[in-house]
Structure 1
Amino acid sequence: MKSIPRVILCATGLVSVSILFLITMPVEREDLKLNIATEFGRLRRREIN
């Protein structure tokens, strides 16, 4: 039963990342790198907390 929420979280995470990529694709690559860095920072902070 504990594995089901993890699968849902992974799916939502992948969807949010794919949406983020679609939004940032027309933007310059430097801005895209900054957005990815900030997203990874947020994920790391969530994991630590």
Structure 2
Amino acid sequence: MFWALKILIFYFLDYKSIKKLIFYTIKILIIIFYTRVSCWSTEEEVT
């Protein structure tokens, strides 16, 4: 099942698209991480 999904992903997306997808995924994760960290730091300052 997994290999079939992998083939479909590589069939529909070329290498550049995959690179872009990974880049944006990492960017989103970093943004989420920083927003959570900033929220925790502000909560600590308030308390």
Partner residue in 2 for 1:3: 20
Deviating runs (4+, > 3 A) in structure 1?
Answer: none
Could you tell me which of 21, 29, 33 is aligned with 1:16? 33
Give the number of aligned pairs. Answer: 28
Identity %: 7
Q: CA RMSD of the aligned region, Å? A: 1.1
Structure number with greater CO (CA < 8 Å, separation at least 6) is: 1
Show CA shifts across 1:1-49 (max 9, x none).
2100000000000000000011000334xxxxxxxxxxxxxxxxxxxxx
| TM-score calculated relative to the size of structure 1 | 0.51
| TM-score calculated relative to the size of structure 2 | 0.53
Q: Which has the higher helix share?
A: 2
Q: Which has the larger radius of gyration?
A: 2
